[in-house]
Structure 1
């Protein structure tokens, strides 16, 4: 260790700990013992005041260790004073002063007070503080997973930064460690109190025996002398111990993390002026009852009346201040709006956002278990896991121009979806079309367009008995939002998002990234390939395979469509896996060879890719053939795709993408050899 970096406080604490151990061994003069006893009392008072002014247990995280050191310090002083009492019959001026003040000339009274203080410390304060520490430690540990999830949720939603999340996790761990340490440290205080009783008995009996038998002192005289000294020594030890016991009880029973104990109790003990006024009235009435002392009741009544008056006056000032602050805030907001009118950020649109009517605002309350905020966090996580895209935080805004129950989803400032929600009702979808009578509002499920009904909460059991699907209002919005995101993920994946994805894997796979960008392909070209994959619902979780494929073929061609097809072939297991039936068979609709030949001969290259140039009647016949087979297979609940040749896959997908956006088109090169293929239909022209 570098001596220059050594903190002076570390050196001082080290010497103090060694000194505490030395108290047990080295005899001390009575004058030095007086000085140490005063230090002990001062430390106890200081610790008590620190706990009263502490706003959070983490502000005094060293308290459990300090509790052990102060306990050992008191025991060392006990041993030092016992040595002086038994050898010299004198333990210094401080102990004599405590004995004179508390016991006077009657050491029996002092003994009773000493026993009472000890019982209070062991039975009441120490036991209570230990039990609270034990329960707090258990509850803190049980609550840690939930608090960790809350931190992760705030981090995912963008409410806090990564550094703030680390700090919160660290504080959470420190809090659990604090209560766990306090559970054990409370045992030290209890043991200290018991040791104090034993040492006091030893002082009394040992002093009487030594000075009566060994030095010829009269037994009564020895009893008076050592009874007084013993009580003084015990009180000097137990009073600081009681102060620290009370401190430990105060700090472990704190429930307000934002205020000191004094601020919290003044707020809780006098919540409003009415209570203080009633207490003052009761005290005045009791003061005039015959037999009761008038003056104490009258003084206390005046005190509570004064508190009631000040609280009432303070509430009026607080309300006036609140009104003024609101006015200032409105003026400040208007000034900021005027100032921001000419800034670039003021008119930039969000990648994706939700606008809601005022009746839907309560659904955004983050304290609810099933709030819209939490659903959005889950959707972003699903998008990351299922598609490999980390979306930017989704903003929620209220829009007074919308109907109270309406919401709309916007992508880059443009509305792409809209729906109507009834927050206090439930949506019922009847998949079997079973007829049962329920009163409600007819509607369409916004994500999939299914017939639905908004019913009252009381009718939930009836709908459940009939096997209907019951959906919470928040879930309706969340499902709609998820479908919109999954349908438009390619549009949401910008260069900035691609850069974040690459930075996330660069630590482990920096070789392929450094080779590919910018020497072989630019970042924008990689983005376009990823967008092409996402347009056909192909996840980009396997970024390493995608980048390595682009590095392999990027030197040969810069054609984005061709590069995308090479990447698709590298991801063939990922692509086909989502279309396999329960039996592991890929069921396909094949394309008649004449249609494929016709398409391959009539391809036109444009800025938006390869487009087939066919006669309208030919396109109509192709669409009719697809529609007939697709509807039949859908009715039979057969999962299927269109199987095309590698040369025509891209062109054919572009041809049908508008009319059949959810119908996948795969090429023969994208089907692994081990996958079994079953033909369930063929796309052909009417006259073929």
Structure 2
């Protein structure tokens, strides 16, 4: 039993178990010094410990390669400040109680600082103490606090951009999830560190103010105690207690100054890796030309009569020698660097060459969104950006309405853009751009508003309608005037949705087509297996689906599309003809999308004479039959005019033509009238009523 108790005691007293107790014990000792009287010897020990810990803090700050390497510094700053204040309280108690006994009454450390450092002169001591306090309070602490405040602000502002860069690297595969988490944690710690340093600097400033107040209180209290309680002469009491108070102040103020310098060293560092001494020597004395010019200037000053010539000339000679040695070293390094370059011209084994590889090839993003720096909060995961949610919703809605899952949208910041600008890219090529103003709303004029609005006039980036950027306070007024009001994230999301819908065919690549067939194959595996690759190659199926998407036909009914392709593939392999057969099978869905319900199908049609001419052109040249230029111009102009009239009365611009002309006219009219839908007679279900509202090619 005794052996077990001994083992437990050893385990309890092991260094690894005592380490967590070190900080609480230190705080307890510091607080006890404020209320319990200390022997003079212990006071000397604690004063010496205070000086040692201050020097150690400064050296650690100098040899830290990054600010976060000394992330505990704000806590150390608080503890050392509390230690100095506790020592001030303990020393004040001893000075007032035992000061009448002589200069060594408060310990050897205070006596040494009071006599040796200032020569026992109270006036000199007061001046030195005040100068040290001013240096600490006005110069070092104030400057370090300002640097920490600005660093905290800029670090916080830069967090969204840094986090986006990490997400971009993660999406690009440059880093793994573990490294991304480490970087995000480091960014958060950096912001917290500078924020804590900004607050911790107030401790040092308060310590300097407390030092001045304690000095005054000790002098006044010492005079009162010496004269009233110990019957000392006024001069003797003033000399004794002032000297002890100055020694006490200096022994606390010098460590405070050292810690303040350490704080300044930590927060004034930039991103270079390396300790402060190496960086200063490496950067300040790296240019021999600078040292030569400095030596020349100091040498000229040393030749002026009345100047301390020996000191100036000696320093000039030292700088000149250092410049010569530095220039010689640079020449040696250049010669050493030139040797490998010469050796590199000799053919080397393939394993050692630095030729380009496939790792240097980077693929462009299928869909990309680049934003200016003011739009970063809209797409920042850390700030729960509203635009990210909308983009996720857009992709889900696109998959439900169009019939396949598009490529993800890769988002990155671009400092080359305007602060409020954004750019949409498809396969690396810009397909849209615009401006967005977070916190403001875009009031879009649909064409029937009852009054103007004050704001930044612009154009709706998605549909080209006149619009005005307004403040949030004018939102209700804009609604009352008939404007359509949307926020900044909705503007970007709507523009992105418009681009995705218009380029749906380009977004359907072979990988998406295969994924679509695999998804269908889970429910109908035999249907997919019989078609691809037995009857049709994957590329032909992709081309048919792209043809449908180019004309605004969704591909949600993949079962019907695959069945039609499987039925016609033994006889037809041409994608255009297969697309025609698929459209006929999807005719009910096509008309349902244009004229919902059982509404009357109000369409445009070709004048019979024009129809005969076009049929003859088709017969003479096949599907690629050419149209006479004059007739083509008239056809384009009249179709555009009639389509616009259809849209003005709220009807979709639909042109009904014979099946033989549908493909030709669809391709011919699509660029001039993007909103026009060309439907063949064979695509109209028998149960739908057709009414022709306008004739293309009719006179007048």
TM-score w.r.t. the length of structure 1 is 0.59
Q: Deviations over 1:62-114 (max 9, x none)?
A: 32232222211211121122222223333322222222321223232222211
Does the CA contact (< 8 Å) of 2:551 and 2:677 recur in 1?
Answer: no
Q: 1:33 to 1:331 in 2, by over 3 A?
A: farther
Q: 1:389 aligns with which of 403, 407, 420?
A: 407
**Aligned match of 2:35:** 25
The answer for the alignment partner of 1:250 in structure 2 is 265
Question: Which position in structure 2 is the counterpart of 1:261?
Answer: 276
- Matching of residues 244-643 of structure 1 within 5 Å: 244-324=259-339, 326=341, 335-336=350-351, 388-390=406-408, 489-490=506-507, 492=509, 494=511, 537=549, 617=621, 619=623, 629-630=635-636, 632-633=638-639, 638=644
CA contact (8 A) 1:51 1:251 kept: yes
How far residue 120 of structure 1 moved from its aligned partner, in angstroms, is 1.2
Q: Which residue of 1 aligns with 2:218?
A: 203
Deviations 1:640-675 (A, max 9, x none): 876679x98xx988778887786776769999xxxx
Distance 1:30 1:191 in 2: 27
SS for the counterpart of 2:116 is helix
Contact 1:641 1:665 in 2 (8 A): yes
Alpha-carbon distance change, 576 to 74 in structure 1, aligned in 2, over 3 angstroms = farther
Mapped partners of 1:97, 1:138: distance in 2 = 44
Question: Which secondary structure state, in structure 2, belongs to the residue aligned with residue 79 of structure 1?
Answer: helix
Q: Find the aligned partners of 1:238 and 1:621 in 2 and give their Cα distance.
A: 97
Per the alignment, residue 75 of structure 2 pairs with 65
TM-score by length of 2: 0.58
How well do the aligned residues superpose, as a CA RMSD in angstroms?
5.9
Alignment check: 8 A CA contact 2:57 2:262 kept: yes
CA contact (8 A) 1:490 1:534 kept: no
**What's the counterpart of residue 105 of structure 1?**
120
Change (3 A) 1:564 1:264: farther
Q: Quick one: structure 1 residues 234 and 498, their matched pair in 2 at CA, closer, same or farther if it must change by over 3 Å?
A: farther
Cα pair 2:549 2:555 within 8 Å, conserved: no
Question: Which of 191, 200, 206 is matched with 1:176 structurally?
Answer: 191
Q: 2:134 aligns with which of 94, 99, 119?
A: 119
What whole-Å deviation, never above 9, does each CA across 1:33-53 have from its counterpart, x for those lacking one?
Answer: 222222221221122222223
Measure, in 1, the Cα distance between the counterparts of 2:272 and 2:591: 54
Q: Please tell me whether the aligned partners of residues 196 and 234 of structure 1 are also in contact (alpha carbons under 8 angstroms).
A: yes
* C-alpha distance 658-188 of structure 1, shift in aligned 2 (>3 A): same
Q: Which residue of 1 aligns with 2:57?
A: 47
The 1:324/1:211 distance shift into structure 2, 3 A limit, reads: same
Unaligned runs of 5+ in 2: 1-11, 100-104, 374-387, 399-405, 413-424, 430-498, 570-577, 612-617
- The offset of 1:166, in angstroms, is 4.5
> Tell me, what secondary structure is at the counterpart of 1:203?
helix
Residue segments in structure 1 that go unaligned for 5+ positions in a row: 355-365, 370-380, 395-408, 417-481, 503-511, 578-584, 597-613
* Distance change (3 Å), C-alpha of 1:161 and 1:488: farther
CA contact (8 A) 1:20 1:76 kept: yes
**d(CA) in 2 for partners of 1:314, 1:195:** 52
Query: 1:399 corresponds to which residue?
Result: none
What does the per-residue CA deviation read over 1:244-270, in whole Å, with 9 as the maximum and x for residues that have no partner?
Answer: 112222222223433432233234423
Q: Distance in 1 between matches of 2:47 and 2:246?
A: 15
Could you say what secondary structure the match of 1:48 adopts? helix
Per the TM alignment, residue 176 of structure 1 is displaced from its structure 2 partner at its CA by 3.0
Alpha-carbon separation, structure 2, partners of 1:86 and 1:569: 104
* Contact 1:568–1:670 under 8 Å retained in 2: no
